[in-house]
Amino acid sequence: GTDRVGQLTTDDPGDGFTFHSTREYQRGDPAGRIDWRGYAKRGALSTVNYEQWVSTTVVFVVDARSPARVTAGPGRPTAVELGAYATTHAVTSLLDAGHEVGLAIVGIDGDGPAGLTWLQPGDGPNQRSLAVERLRTAADAAESDPAGGPEDEGDTQRQFRKVMEVAGPRCQLVLVSPLLDDAPVAAMESWAAFDCQRTMLSTDVTAASTVSGQYEHVRRRTRLARCQASGARTIDWRRGTPLPLILDYAFAVAAHQPRGSVQPGGGA
């Protein structure tokens, strides 16, 4: 967490409203935090600690490369469009809760470092507008050019590496990808070296009605398992599951979490 007050509780005591613990009274402690009831019972002064509320910084990394520009069937949105949709809702939720949010888009030509489309972490309504604008650009690119054209694997790897460099060590990373190739998995595994909170939010666009689709489904599940094995939390957004339920499950910002982190729950 940051030093700003937010809507996320931590294990560290401080100023707040919910009881956390008591400690021995120290000269200069505010009178409003003295445990007068305990003093009446035991005749010794003690000071009440409350749960400390802080904010945190979350950077969303949206996979808009050509492998993600696929659909589960005719007339359905691409995985990039689904990812942009999910990220828009998550960004709104976290900004409303007082957190700082940043955005990186991999796979489209941007003016940021290493060709990234990059939005520096920030807060407030203007930050949401800037994020939505960039997400719309990514979704439009995926719709207008589904094939995406040939990509240099080295450029993609550089973009994924650059994310950690520009995001900074105190942020939490959420990679939004359909996981249809190994590049996002390699990125999650490489980010593990920075000891930051990592989450994979994966949209399922595999087609279960064909043999090839079933094969891709199994490979995608294997990649989810690899991400989880690297220490990342994995959220599998399957078709038919309402997005609000997924996001509530993934970002329980009001839940009691250690070290001031927004920690998504559960596995793939």
Cα angle for residues 129, 136, 89 (degrees, 5° grid): 60
- Confidence band, pLDDT 50/70/90 cuts, at residue 264: very low
In the chain, the percentage of residues whose pLDDT exceeds 70 is 78
Average pLDDT over residues 154-159: 84
DSSP assignment, residue 261?
Answer: -
Find all residues with CB under 8 Å of 86, minimum gap 6, and list them.
176, 201, 203, 237, 243, 246, 247
**Range of lowest pLDDT (60-64, 78-82, 180-184, 264-268):** 264-268
Q: According to the model, what pLDDT value does residue 257 have?
A: 40
Distance CA 176, CA 53 (A): 27
Residue 45 scores a pLDDT above 60: yes
Question: By CB neighbour count within 10 A (0-12 exposed, 13-18 middle, 19+ buried), where does 175 fall?
Answer: buried
- Confidence band, pLDDT 50/70/90 cuts, at residue 110: confident
Cα angle for residues 11, 16, 21 (degrees, 5° grid): 50
CATH number of the domain located at residue range(s) 57-251 in this protein? 3.40.50.410
Q: 211-229 and 183-191 are packed helices; what angle lies between their axes, rounded to 10 degrees? A: 10
Return the SS3 of 59: strand
Strand partners, 117: 105
- Confidence band, pLDDT 50/70/90 cuts, at residue 119: very high
Q: pLDDT tens digit string along 200-236?
A: 999 999 887 788 888 999 999 999 999 999 999 999 9
Q: According to the model, what pLDDT value does residue 258 have?
A: 40
Mean per-residue pLDDT over the chain, rounded: 79
Cβ-based neighbour number of residue 61 at 10 Å: 29
Q: pLDDT tens digit string along 13-40?
A: 445 444 456 677 777 777 766 777 876 8
Residue 51 scores a pLDDT above 70: no
Assess contact for 97 and 7: CB atoms under 8 A: yes
Q: What is the largest CA-CA distance in the chain?
A: 76
Distance CA 74, CA 86 (A): 21
Return the SS3 of 265: coil
Distance CA 137, CA 117 (A): 10
Return the SS3 of 258: helix
Residue 247 scores a pLDDT above 90: no
Residue 148 scores a pLDDT above 80: no
Q: According to the model, what pLDDT value does residue 229 have?
A: 95
Distance CA 193, CA 176 (A): 20
**What residue spans define the domains of the chain?**
8-54, 57-251
Assess contact for 8 and 53: CB atoms under 8 A: yes
